[in-house]
Homo-oligomer: A and B are copies of this chain.
Amino acid sequence: MQLRNQVEWALHCCAILAGLPEARFLSTKDLAKLHGVPKEYLGKALQALSQAGLVEGTLGPSGGYRLAREAAGITFLDIVEAVEGKSSSFVCTEIRKNNPCRTPGMRKNGPCAIARVMWDADRAWRERLAAVSLADLARTLADELPPDQIARMGEWIEARS
């Protein structure tokens, strides 16, 4: 089991967008160049983010994407689910129904006990992702990245207005 590469790309793109000057858009082309990933395919991920209402895109020259809400209101979970989907990593195919010993009666059994454990773990995973916002991430990055790199990023963005 493995998450898509799109997830890493989307998270990094959102991190960039969160650090953008107010009302500034950044194009797919620039985001792709910034991360060294194929422009066309990254576009799909950004479209997913757009459809989820996390970012908004605008057309034409000087177009691109920006966050649709404040960074504090967008969590890792929002981004992951936009790209990867909201369905649990564990899918129960109800193989217990194939047990020849099962009670044939119309007893409505709830979900399988095994599935409940797996879904519970999945919920814990999502809760942890929902606990971190883009604002939190921006704070961490501002604290960790070398100041000169942050400055260079500012110039790089400024250069393509």
| Chain A residues engaging chain B, CB cutoff 8 angstroms | 1-5, 7-9, 11-12, 15, 33-37, 76, 84-85, 87, 89-93, 95-103, 105, 107, 109, 113-115, 117-118, 120-122, 124-129, 132, 137, 140-141, 144, 146, 148-149, 152-153, 156
- Are the C-beta atoms of B1 and A84 separated by less than 8 Å? yes
With A34-B100, A137-B114, A140-B113 known as contacts, the answer to whether A5 contacts B128 (CB < 8 A) is no
Chain B residues contacting A144 (CB-CB under 8 Å) are 109, 113
DSSP class of A's interface residues: helix, strand, loop or mixed? helix
- Are the C-beta atoms of A89 and B3 separated by less than 8 Å? yes
Can you list 12 pairs linking A and B with CB atoms under 8 Å apart?
A2-B87, A3-B118, A5-B91, A8-B90, A8-B91, A8-B95, A34-B98, A34-B101, A99-B153, A113-B137, A118-B129, A124-B125
Contact partner of A149 (CB less than 8 A), chosen from B103, B117, B140, is B103
Closest to A4 in B: B1
- Are the C-beta atoms of A118 and B76 separated by less than 8 Å? yes
With A9-B95, A89-B89, A91-B2 known as contacts, the answer to whether A120 contacts B128 (CB < 8 A) is yes
A137 to B12, CA, bound (A): 40
